[in-house]
Amino acid sequence: MASTFTIALPEPPVPPEHLIDLLHSNTLPSSIESSHTIAYIDELETGCHLRRAQLLQSIEAHKAILSPVRRLPPEILGEIFSLVVRATFDSYTPPPVTQHAPWLLTRVCRYWSEVALATSALWSMVYVNFDHGGVQRGGSVDKTQPCALEQCTFDCAILPRGWAPL
């Protein structure tokens, strides 16, 4: 089904009457008429730049419809998500974005959310970070030192059996 779209471009602003008269004559403009002409040209150029920016933004938004990632089957997308989460645990200090990868993946779009929630491998690993007064503690937690929960923030890591971060 072929369809054509027509974009209606706005009409330029109407110039003052004295500029219209100058357009239809070969009379030398006065300094005031010259400054009015310059102001009108500036107004047209500004409108042109704004309209161009709007059109470019619309073009980019509509190009996203054709993005190849939209054609990925859920199994492939889920595997990519799993690799991202696993890479988080492979790193001693994971980047802040990937620390929250399973949850962030559910917030991109409805399709990604459905795939992420259906990919059990994403939810079998959870990142743990203990932060005591700004000092990072890596590895195991010292169970002999008390830690009030209001003084430390933490996330929890649950790893699959036989799998540990490097």
What string of pLDDT tens digits covers the 166 residues of the chain? 566 777 787 788 888 888 999 999 999 999 999 999 999 999 999 999 999 999 999 999 999 999 998 899 999 999 999 888 877 766 666 566 556 778 888 999 999 999 999 998 888 766 555 554 444 444 444 445 554 444 444 445 555 545 554 4
| Identity at 139, one-letter amino acid code | G
- The domain segmentation of the chain, as residue ranges, is 17-66, 73-154
Q: What is the pTM of this model?
A: 0.51
3-state secondary structure of 142: coil
Q: How many CA atoms lie within 13 A of 71 on its CB side?
A: 5
